[in-house]
Chains A and B, each alone.
Chain A
């Protein structure tokens, strides 16, 4: 046990401590990006295209691949003295942006290099109706024609399923690329605009017509409550209503009456002092099963009977 002053010293330092730090990109990966930029400067586009294309395409071979950094992204850190530090540019985004900014001839090289593979992947994804594979096409081959198509399909899907914001985000980088517009047509811009308006990112008169397909507010229909916060956006459901004063069934969440008594006593102490926190646990309901943590285990209960 160390002395009081030592603790004070350590905690004194912690007062202003930020406990998490963003990780810088490993030098060899950053070097790839720099080499590509150098190659562009020297107009050696094919070299640049291969370097950047590989960077975006890189992925761990499998879960046991030693190169655990493969496919990972890194912030290109900006120094700041602010209390709250903000980073917004990542290595892969920069690589993708650089490709998007290449002259048409260089992009043609890129298309020649990666287009066929991208196209095959797109066809494969379409055939198997695998949205994750489609996302892979966009992620790895964003600036190929197949990549643009994948983005468009993904954005359309988001839009029709009531996620205009997601759709607009998917199209943000696409509409800024003339080749993409040339390939997909001007209607792409309209789609992006519509998504922007619908999501409220760009307020306009048309935003009044915004159809708010808000899944959360449709909570009255909620059948399952499968995770804390009800939905992946954690914004809770809206299915609350006054319950009857009498219960349908109940179960203890402690392992023994003695445990219950000990917990009750502690709870009373916390209530009296005005410091009772909400419990750590939150049950979930999936189909006819209610799943809940107790003080010693996970219980699955038949929801209809409480058994």
Chain B
């Protein structure tokens, strides 16, 4: 339509990623729909951005926007004059009318020389009949009064709009306001009306800032139009989230309404069945009974592929548009796939008319010939004139489509003789030749040569090169393959190619992989296939190529060096290392050195020596001396030279802190400002460290205003400004630390944090990226735990059933490798680039749940539920093989090892196995009793995983076993004093040792009658009857501590560098007037030898306090350890007092809370 003839809506192109733009594309049916009566076209204008009302319990629903958003304009444009304005109604009308205040809910339905449109006016929804020539109102009929506020404040109604459907004399009007009304049109008489409740989850649409999340509003029925066939009326009201089926004649339900679930739209009714289309599937139901007749199989869509829009019916099939430009033809008989076709244009909502198919996607509208219509047409033209250029080209296109490429080339040659300059002939010829090469990648040399000259499109060249590479590798022409890989790498770094090109190359329905990853994986394949001599040649070839890039941008160099990581590419890595070091990008430097290695201490020792030196540089610069020393040691083992300077630098700051005697205690009591409990306010999340001694003992915590913070091994807090989290999310987080990067995992979201920056207190720049897996910020899973055979908690994130494909689906993150993190989301396994959160590859052939481990170039997903282990290529996500799994449930994994348990049928004993799924080797195995309560007379065994690496098992007979899961070895096998009444085991890692805290069944007879003893608080402070310390170096029992009479309690998350272990318990006594007195016992233990440094018994504390948890902060420079228990502050000074303060502890026993 000509802009000058009609004033257009305001241009919204340059306002950035604003709401209105997204709304118009996906969230505004009244905007997107137009209709025509053959002479005119009708549309709605003056539609502003959807806003949610502000709700007030007193005033009800009200808003602050100007009143004129309550009206809009219905416009009629003349078709013959190409868009001349005929009339306007509503807000933009030239003359006032009874419809001046109307909000038109959708374009009118043209029927028998009349227009029928639904509009909202003064709180009522009306059906209005208009004269299409003038826009004059002929009659109106009220349908419903709206109870929930006007349409401009009701986001759900505003997005949905409303438009009538006409069928067999009846006009059906789903109003969008929880009611559908049917009228006998000839009689203008109400036939029937139904009302149904509004969607119940509408409150979930409101986020914590009380705003509507537009993304969440996208999760709905696509439209609320009624579809009628025979005597059936089907309605999918957006406001109700259900599907209703009414009898056209009576309005009575044909069957009970159905919830939407993951369905997107109702496609239509054919042969007594209606078809629902979801995000990833189609379902057919009987339109009389509502019984499900079929649903499409799990193999309908590939990994990451999704249904992209409204499809079309054709014959006995449905044509389904999908996101990877693939149109799928599905039989309406049984939901089976009839055929698939990949198009060279994006697919969206489809319209099939006049023998052609129109697709309107989010950014493009495309029109293509329909094959069935084109063929007879072309044939008849060619019969009349065999040299018709247009017909020859179309015929060739048809031939290509049917894989008859040689015939196509003949036709194209004929066409080229008629028009030698034709781009289309050229393009189609390339397409046909590529197809021939695809069938036979070894290819005829002439064809390859010709193609090489002809190809001018980058994506076609990429495919051409990829085919040649494939062919060369298959025929072991490795030098050739490397040459082509270099060509492809150059192409990729110079051109931005679409993902579609990668899919074309991959041609694997269950997998998507970036072209960069594909190149890296092929390079690895070439290296693996080559012998020593070939490898040298290849390295020289690559080095030559990389030498030419050394002056290039960092982005180019990074990409190229990743392509050729399999051969090292030393010079490029050295150059990048130099740049990163200069820029102070220590994390980039660290990850550059690690490459795609598995980033565990063992794997790092196997890195190329140059990379290890780079790594040592990053670690020294980042003040991670312990890690740097490990690298230097590994270099020394490989007999590297010139390590003295490196070792000296690495050693700085790694000296153990001397905690010297004597130790003095300063005990202060803070006055409690209010009644009740002072909570220490620190909530800890599970944190595992897969590599990085410098971060051992670091924990993800939430404290006060810091919803995400890190606590170092001294107890110091580093707040991380990660928005959008609230304290209620605490329980659902976990973290994985791998060297300088930490992945924070929430249900459905991961975030990467740069720990180098955290360590240097640049926390505001420490967030690298966040990636959401649900698309709208909502949780897709919940953190759950369950106690295993040894009463140890096992954690996992089951995906909520509404988003999962199956009920066992799991969201699991980890391991974190050098350059990527692996994520399992239901059956999708993804590798995510640590640098930028982009997907490197995705394979939907993975198990629904399971533990992920990595070794060498493989990733394994161990799924006890599916009794299988599936192996994938680390670089490009190829499924390599599957093996059966029969070791029972998984308890834990560390490094490449998996710890599993297989309980006996009666649950009294259990086989624990530690194995390497990659070699299938069982590294350790034992059979022992369990913690089952049904065991009355025999031994019972309790277990824990400590430091995300060690498995501890302690039996009531005193048998103590510790396995190092990561190393696959036995650390301890000891006999301790039997604990016949063993009831629980807790454990922690402290100062290079494991601290075990077993608890016996409380012996009530021993407790005094006049006092109650408290040794436990929340889930973090537990009772212990004895303390064992096991050396992590030797596995020996370093010390043990028995208590004289009564047990103590111990807080489990004490900072790991603390030199003292604080134990606490509280005694409550009640006087005759019920007044309560609370006395606290505190014991400070030297973690090095288990000696009691200090014990204070019977310290009176405020009677309101139930707090016995301790919080320790270590001040290494001041040589102090500060312990806090409720309002009591205990300062331990090591090496004697450095001031003249009276060291005598004050006794605040007589202080009374100031309330």
Contact = CB atoms under 8 A, between A and B. Distances in A.
A217 B137 CA distance: 34
Interface stretch (A45-53, A108-116, A120-128, A261-269): A261-269
A72 B139 CA distance: 8
Nearest to B367: A248
B724 interface: no
A151 B362 CA distance: 48
A177 interface: no
B43 A293 contact: yes
Nearest to B139: A71
B492 interface: no
Contact of B773 (A22, A234, A273): A273
Interface string A221-265: 011111111001111111111111111111111111011101111
A300 B83 contact: yes
B348 A14 contact: no
A284 B34 contact: yes
A2 interface: yes
Interface in B853-896: none
B83 A166 contact: no
Contact of A297 (B1, B60, B97): B1
B178 A19 contact: yes
Nearest to B108: A227
A132 interface: yes
B314 interface: yes
B344 to A, nearest CB: 6
B866 to A, nearest CB: 21
Nearest to A3: B210
A139 interface: yes
A256 B13 contact: yes
B34 A92 contact: no
A220 to B, nearest CB: 8
A1 B210 contact: yes
Interface stretch (B142-150, B1034-1042, B1044-1052, B1098-1106): B142-150
B906 to A, nearest CB: 43
B940 to A, nearest CB: 45
B1060 interface: no
A68 B348 contact: no
Given A92-B189, A240-B319, A298 B145 contact: no
Contact of A252 (B17, B364, B803): B364
A64 B349 contact: no
Contacts of A296: 8-13
Contacts of B369: 243-244, 248
Interface in B349-388: 349-358, 360-374
B144 A166 contact: no
Contacts of B136: 63
Contacts of B77: 298
Contacts of A22: 144-145, 179, 181, 193, 195
A250 B351 contact: no
Contacts of B548: none
A295 B227 CA distance: 27
B1153 interface: no
Contact of A272 (B22, B206, B219, B775): B775
A85 B246 CA distance: 12
A131 B17 contact: no
B195 A85 contact: yes
Contacts of B191: 88, 90
Nearest to A268: B499
Interface string A21-64: 11100000000000000000000000000000000000110011
B168 A166 contact: yes
A281 B223 CA distance: 11
Residue among B13, B107, B137, B839 having the largest count of chain A Cβ atoms under 10 Å: B13
From B146, B252, B348, residue with most partner A Cβ within 10 Å: B348
A94 to B, nearest CB: 10
B55 A18 contact: no
A68 B157 CA distance: 25
B1127 interface: no
Contacts of B229: 216, 233, 235
Nearest to B109: A232
A12 interface: yes
Interface in A142-194: 142, 154, 158, 163, 165-166, 169-170
B215 interface: yes
Given A63-B137, A225-B351, A245-B342, A20 B364 contact: no
Interface residues of B, number: 191
A289 B353 CA distance: 12
B1044 to A, nearest CB: 52
Interface stretch (B262-270, B467-475, B1008-1016, B1116-1124): B262-270
A90 B189 contact: yes
B22 A263 contact: yes
Contacts of B372: 241-242
Interface stretch (B304-312, B525-533, B753-761): B304-312
A284 B264 CA distance: 21
Contacts of B32: 279-282, 293
Contacts of B311: 240
A68 B361 CA distance: 43
B229 to A, nearest CB: 5
Contacts of A243: 327, 341, 343, 356-357, 368-371
Contact of B79 (A21, A236, A245, A287): A287
A201 interface: yes
A271 B1 CA distance: 32
B1099 to A, nearest CB: 42
A84 B169 contact: no
A291 interface: yes
A242 B206 contact: no
B313 A240 contact: yes
Nearest to B142: A23
A7 B55 contact: yes
A240 B776 contact: no
B192 A86 contact: yes
Interface stretch (B23-31, B554-562, B599-607, B813-821): B23-31
Interface centre among B109, B251, B341, B352 (most CB of A within 10 A): B352
A37 to B, nearest CB: 19
B917 to A, nearest CB: 29
Contact of A277 (B26, B178, B198, B203): B26
A86 B194 contact: yes
B79 A253 contact: no
Given A201-B231, A235-B229, A279-B32, A274 B775 contact: yes
B552 interface: no
A251 B314 CA distance: 25
Contacts of A12: 203
Given A8-B203, A245-B342, A277 B218 contact: yes
Contacts of A85: 194-196
A18 B175 CA distance: 12
B686 interface: no
B357 to A, nearest CB: 4
A103 interface: no
Contact of A237 (B183, B308, B313): B313
B218 A232 contact: no
B195 A278 contact: no
Interface string B669-708: 0000000000000000000000000000000000000000
Given A138-B186, A278-B349, A75 B268 contact: no
Contact of A87 (B138, B193, B257, B342): B193
B300 to A, nearest CB: 14
B3 interface: yes
Given A247-B345, A277-B26, A281-B31, 13 more contacts: A73-B183, A135-B187, A138-B187, A199-B231, A240-B312, A242-B371, A247-B367, A254-B363, A263-B25, A263-B362, A270-B215, A280-B24, A298-B1
8 contacts: A166-B169, A169-B249, A223-B354, A259-B14, A277-B26, A282-B32, A282-B33, A290-B365
The 5 residue pairs across chains A and B that have the minimum distance between CB atoms: A273-B775, A240-B314, A280-B32, A281-B32, A20-B177
